[in-house]
Each structure stands twice: as structure tokens, then as C-alpha cells.
Amino acid sequence: MFLFHFTIAVLQAEVFISPGFLYVAIAVTTGLIFLLVVSLLVLLLVKNSRSLKQKELQHQFKDWLVGIILEETDVDHLEFEVPHDIRKLLKNSFARQVLLQELKGLKQSLSGQPSENLEKLYRQLNLQTISCGSLQRRLWHLKSKGIQELAAMNQQGVTQDLFLLTNHKHPNVRMEAQIAMVVLKQYEGLQLFENLVYPLTEWHQIKLLQLLAHQPIPSEAAIVRWLHSSNYSVVQFALKLIGEQHALYFQEEVIACLYHTDETVRRQAIICLGYIPSARASASLKRLFACEPHKDLQLVILNELIRSGAIDDLLFLQTLQENTDIDIKLAADRATYYLLNHAVA
Amino acid sequence: MEFLYNLFNYGLLAYAVIMLGSYIFLGTLAIAEANNYLKKSKLTDYTLLASSPYAPSVSILAPAYNEGANIIENVRSLLNIYYNHLELIVINDGSKDDSMAKLIEAYQLEPVQVAYNPKLKTKNVKAVYKSTNPVFHKLVVIDKDNGGKADALNTGINLASHQYLVCIDVDCILEQDALLKLLKPFMDESEKKVIATGGVVRIANSCLFENGKLVEVNLPKQLLPRVQPLEYIRAFLLGRMAWSRLNGLLLISGAFGAFDRKIAIEAGGYDQSTVGEDMELVVRMRRYMAERKLPYKVTFIPDPLCWTEAPATYKILARQRNRWMRGTIETLKMHRKLFFNPKYGLLGILSYPYWFFFEFLAPVIEFTGLVIFVILAISGLINWPYFLALTAFIFIFGWLFSIFAILMEVATFNQYKKKGEVGKLIITALIEPFIFHPFIVWSSIRGIVDFLRKRNSWGEMTRQGFGAPAAKTQAKE
């Protein structure tokens, strides 16, 4: 009631609804429009100008960079030749930023000698000062940018600084730092898992798996530790890694994860066993099926039996024909069909 | 009597002030969210999802009714989307033209037996088709009895076998990397479950398309379609970005949105009794999660990924806006339990009331105000200097908001790069209150009247097609 009377009193104050007030409001709003239109024009000019300048710089760098990439260098190689016009361009900070982005982009699609040449050029031109400078900035996106550049350019000297950022409060910074550690140190970079406070997102896990795709697991002990981590996303990641690498020797640990308290971990363990099939795996899956309370996971089990199952499992699948749940019956039918047509006994 | 008069008077003033204030508030939030998104996006390599075996699997659902004129090209465009774990389900919703025959011939389809458990009730499915050509192995075509868009989508949901659903209009053109960007939010959260993600729908009129791909963006040449990009920029870049930041988004466009399949089914799928099935499903999925106290998010991405044709005539525009208002009312009515209900958190305290007061009631109040004004003017009771000053302020504020939206567009995705296009948009914003807005208000009022009269048709939506001759379509009556 008090609020109602107060509101009425305020609204009745003539100063708020007088024509004079409206004239002021019109003037202010018109002024703001003028400001916005000017900002628009300036923004358009700046954007167009930057875009044109960037294209021009890219064009000017192109032939020179192609030469650098194709150059055969040896251990004694000191410096790449930087033409005078390029040297002059690189006095400008915008040009250095453009070059840095070009080098980063090229590095991601090259390997071997060309890739090493780009790293050497990066160091030769002192571009790591820009990346390290970004690393020290407060703004998260600049930090992340710096991290990406340093990792792309294989700057091993900054791993200590990057490690400190792996538990940064901003999710993007810590993700980029964690990824960078793996880029630079591969499995050794994953020591951060020992103290990981925050969960790994699915996206993050995919990125790490991509980086480790061609790196065989060096240490069984580390994987076993991860499988027992209190951070369930680390367990999930370890299971994905085992599946990706078809690391059959972790089968017992994976089977133990079938009874994990977290549903996501159990799901991943089921999927993992599909990648490391064996009679023991399918027996474990069938045992789990009987006691798994979540129907979703039961369906995942039936799906994975397609990969890990054998002709011996047909009896189990046939018993499911009597199940009252249509989804279970259909999944069992599908698994039966595949096993009859594709399974190796 | 004087008290009631003042209450009405000042009540309207308070309504207007709150409305303007909320626009400013949402605009500010939208800046922060768009800024955050753009910075993140620059650092992201989306191609990771395209090749990873751990990328989520997606079923694209594209209902089609009498789309014979363009369906072959539209399907080809969708099959060219850059994504691996994908199935494209086209649902022919009892078309009366040659859509089905064209699809069968062009994509070498033959009927197949598919065992699935239809969890959602739909009209009869006549047959399911797959291609004999391995090039089109991702394509599934369902031929069914006509039941409307919601029914067609539910049929697609029943057959879909993948984790996420992307529901689109079959005549929309998607950018090649649309799925990569649309699905990333589902993978970015570790604490809350993302149940749906919406994308921006952009106006394709006057744009150039070749082989189902966008090659040149142009501002629509005709005046009526040209106002609509402005409207869409305001709605998407300002409105929905802000609501996404608050986690209070109630609407994901039916033309382009992604959903968690399991949650969509558990929430009951699309409701066939409403013409606003897109909004209604999002509200119902949100309620489903809120009632079970499960942490969740509905996100929105501002990248221009989906292009669609906007109505080019007042007749078609009126039908569209009439339907949108009916859909809004139906959804608000079905979920009236949310109204200022703290049990539903932000959904009940802010999102629902906002839609009720400023999306549903706004045209009613505006129209009523216009009628009262005419009566008072005839009666000689208008304080003209005051009226003109107030009208000028509202008009200029509206223009300011539109220019702010244009500035956001230029600062973010800057689709209209050609010389003079931004200037044309600014001028369009100036004349919009005269040539467009009153018509929209009137269409909304007609929508309310039709709702009260229990009319539930979609109406005829005539499309020009992307370079094809005009084709008339008619959906469920």
C-alpha cells in the first residue's frame, strides 16, 4: 500500500510529466541518435579500412611466407631473410598482429620442416613478446589469444606460466591453458589432471582427444589415477582415451567403472567397452544390464553389444524379446540382427 | 472517479516507462552477451566438431508441405551441410502437389521397413523411404497423412535416432557451418544441461543463392521485406541475446533450432493444438526441467546461419503476424501457471510476465490507446502540445532503439556491407512507425479476435522461392 501511494505521489510530481521534461527527453534522445549515427559511420569506416589494410598486408606477406615455408634449413641456419619493405611494414603494430595471425593459421595446417620454419621466424621477429604480453593482460580473451599463439608456435619456455593458468577462474582461459599444455607437452601436460578443480566440458575433452589421437598412452599408472579421480569429467575423459586408443589392457579398470556412482561415467564406461571388445567385456555388460536402474544405460549396453558382442550373446538377447519395454525389445532385435550377420564367435 | 482516472492514466504511464526501461536493460545485456560470444567464437576452431568421432549425433527434421517448386534444391542444400554424424529426415506432410514424386525420382528413394517406437502420437505414416544411392545415405523421407507442422515434426522425432534434433523449415537455407556452431553450446556446459539452442533467422529476400548456398547478401529491395531485417535484428540481436544471457529465453524460432531429443520427448513433443508450436515446446521443456529441479539452460547464438524468405505483401504478412499472436496467446494460456510463480524461478518471475505484458498486451494497449485518442480528439479533450511532445519522444526513442540495433549489427556480423545499405536501414527505421508498425498492431489485434473466435488455421503462405517462380502452399486448416 505504501509503495502504491509513493508511486502515485512520484507520478503526480509535475516535474516528471511536464512538457518541459519531454522536450528535454526529446533533445537528449535526438542527441543520442546523432551520437549513434556518428558512431555507426566511424565504425563502418574503421572496419572497412582495417579489412582493406588486412587484405593488403596478407597479400604483401604471402609470397614472402611461401618462400619461408619452402626454404630448406639446417641446424646451423640462423635467420630468414626479411625484405626491406616487409621490415618497414613490421614497424607497425597492426601489421605485426596480422603477421602473427597468418603464422598461427599456417602453422595449424603444416607440419615438418615448413612448420619449424614458421616457429623460427616467429622467434626471429620477436613475435613471442606480443603473445607473452597478451598472456599478462587482465582481459580473458586476450589471455586466451596469447595462450593459443604460444602453444601454436611451440614455445616450450612458457609452460610454467601456462601451468599456472590451468586452474584460472575464467573457463575459457583455463581450457586454453590446459589445451596448450597438451600441445606443448602431450601426455606430460596432463599432469594438471592431478589437481584439476573444475570439470572438463565435452568440447574440451574432444579437443584433448584430437591432440592425443596419434600419441600412444605412455604411462598406465597415470591413466589408472585418472580413472580414480574425484573429478568425474577426468574419469570420463580417461575412458574416452582408452576407447580411442583401443587400450585393451585397461579392461579391468573400465569394468570397475561400470559400477561408478556417476551415470555419465557409467555410460562412458559402457561405450568404452564397445571399443575394447572381448568375452569378458560382453559378460560384464550383460551383468550390468540386469542391475542398471536407468533404461537409457540399458539401451546403451544393448547398442554396445553390437560392437563387443559375439554369437554367445544371442541367448541373452533372445531373452529380452519377452521384455515388456518396446525400446528394449527393439534394441535387442537390432543387436541380434547385427550379431547374426557380423559377429565373430 | 478521479482516483480511477488517475490510476488508469498513471498506470499506462508506468507501463510505458517500464517497457522503455526494459528495452534499455535488454539492449545493455545484449551488448555484453554478443561481445562475449564474438570473443569466444574468434578463439574457436569449429571444424573440430566436423571430424571428431565424439561429436554429437544430429537428426535434422524438415517438415514439407507442397514444397514441390524448390524441394529438390532445398534438400540438396541440407545434405551439403558440413557435418559428419547427421541424418536428414524430410517429412512430407500429405502434400497435394508432386513433392513426393520429385523426391523419389531425384534421390532414388525406395520404401524401407524401419522398426521404431513412436513415442509421440501422430497421424498415419504411409511409408518411410531411403535412397538406394549411397551418396544420399543420410537422407530419410517420411510420407504421412497431413497433420500440420507440429504433427510432422513429432513424426520426425519418433523416427529420429540421434541425440539432438535440429528443426528447420525445409525452405530455409543454412550456412555450411550452421550445425557446428549451433551444437557447440550443448558441449560447452559442465554444470547445467543445455536443452535447446536457438539460432538467428535472417531475411533472404534479394540475396543471391547458387546451388543452395548463399553467395551474396543484399538488403531487400522492396520496402516491406526491408523493414523486416530491422525487426529481426532488434528481436534476435537485442532481445534474444539478452534473454539468453539471463537464461530466460522463451522462444526459439521454428525455422531454426536445436533440441535435446530425450528432453523434447519426455516433455511431450510438439503440441498440435497450437499454431505457436515452436514457442510452446520451449516453454514446456523449460517447465519440465524446472519442475524436476534439474539445472538447465536454453541458449542462443547470434551468428547468421539460417536464411529465410520474409513475406513481401501485406496480405501474407498479416497472416503470419496473426498466427504469431495466436501462437503467443495459446502458449501463454497453456502455461498460465508460470505467471509470477516463484517455483519456476526466472521463467515465472520475469520471462512469462514480460511476454504477457509486453508481447501480448502491448498491441492491445496500443490499439486501445489509439481508439481513446481518436475519441478524445473528436471531443476536443486533447492537450495538443503535450500530446505532440509525448508522441515525438516515443517516436524518437523508437528510432534510437532501431539505430542502436543497426549499430549492434554493424559491430558484430555486419551482413549489410554494400554502400548505402546501412543508410537505407536507418531511413527504413524512420518510416517504420508509419508504414509497418500500425499494420503489425492491427494484425495482432486480428489475431486476438481470431483466437477468441477459435480460428486455428495457419493460413496460406505464398513463397517466391530463392530464384524460383512463386508457389502457393497451404498448410493444415
Instruction: Please write the tens of the pLDDT for every residue from B309-356.
Output: 999 999 999 999 999 999 999 999 999 999 999 999 999 999 999 999
pLDDT tens profile A61-111: 999 999 999 988 777 777 888 999 999 999 999 999 999 999 999 998 898
| A11 close to B (CB below 8 A) | yes
**How near does any CA of chain A get to the CA of B20, in Å?**
13
Q: CB–CB of B49 and A7 under 8 A? A: no
Q: How far apart are CA B38 and CA B49, in angstroms?
A: 19
Task: Please give chain B's pLDDT, 477 residues, in tens.
Answer: 777 777 777 888 889 889 989 999 999 999 999 999 999 999 999 988 888 888 999 999 999 999 998 899 889 989 988 898 999 999 999 999 999 999 999 999 999 999 999 999 999 999 999 999 999 999 999 999 999 999 999 999 999 999 999 999 988 889 988 999 999 999 998 889 999 999 999 999 999 988 778 899 999 999 999 999 999 999 988 999 999 999 999 999 888 999 999 999 999 999 999 999 999 999 999 999 999 999 999 999 998 889 999 999 999 999 999 999 999 999 999 999 999 999 999 999 999 999 999 999 999 999 998 898 899 899 998 888 888 888 899 899 999 999 999 999 999 988 998 989 999 999 999 999 999 999 999 999 999 999 999 866 665 555 555 544 333 333 333
Closest CA to B157 of B73, B78, B247, B266: B266
Q: Please list every residue in chain A whose beta carbon sits closer than 8 Å to the beta carbon of residue B411.
A: 43
| A321 close to B (CB below 8 A) | no
Q: What does the pLDDT read at residue B17?
A: 87
A residues 43-72 closer than 8 Å to B (CB) = 43-44, 47
A277 pLDDT higher than 60: yes
Smallest Cβ–Cβ distance between A201 and the set B13, B52, B188 belongs to B188
**How near does any CA of chain B get to the CA of A186, in Å?**
18
What is each CA distance from A72 to A69, A105, A112, A189, in whole angstroms? 8, 21, 11, 31
Number of helices (H), then strands (E), belonging to chain A: the values are 19, 0
The H or E element spanning position B198 is strand B193-203
Interhelix angle for B99-106 vs B71-79, to 10°? 50
Q: CB–CB of B52 and A210 under 8 A? A: yes
**Position B262, amino acid:** K
Q: How far apart are CA B229 and CA B205, in angstroms?
A: 10
- Are B456 and B326 spatial neighbours (Cβ–Cβ below 8 Å)? yes
Q: What does the pLDDT read at residue B326?
A: 95
Could you please report the per-residue DSSP string of A188-246? GGGGGGGG--SPPPHHHHHHHHHHTTTS----HHHHHHHHT-SSHHHHHHHHHHHHHHT
Tally the C-alpha atoms within 13 A of residue B97's C-alpha that lie toward its C-beta. 16
With cell 560447452, the residue in question is B188
Q: CB–CB of B190 and A32 under 8 A? A: no
> What phi, psi does B136 have (nearest 5°)?
-105, 35
| A216 close to B (CB below 8 A) | no
Q: How far apart are CA B354 and CA B328, in angstroms?
A: 12
Nearest residue of A to residue B38, measured between CA atoms = A141
Smallest Cβ–Cβ distance between A201 and the set B14, B40, B187 belongs to B187
Q: Please list every residue in chain B whose beta carbon sits closer than 8 Å to the beta carbon of residue A23.
A: 389
Helix, strand, coil shares of chain A, percent, nearest 5, are 80, 0, 20
Query: Greatest CA separation found in chain A?
Result: 91
Is the C-alpha dihedral spanning A90, A91, A95, A101 positive or negative?
Answer: positive
Smallest Cβ–Cβ distance between B115 and the set A198, A296, A330 belongs to A330
Closest CA to B257 of B286, B297, B290, B300: B300
Q: Please list every residue in chain B whose beta carbon sits closer than 8 Å to the beta carbon of residue A32.
A: 400
Q: How far apart are CA A271 and CA B53, in angstroms?
A: 12
**Full-model pTM:** 0.90
Smallest Cβ–Cβ distance between B48 and the set A176, A201, A206 belongs to A206
pLDDT tens profile A148-203: 999 999 999 999 999 999 989 999 999 999 999 999 999 999 988 887 888 999 99
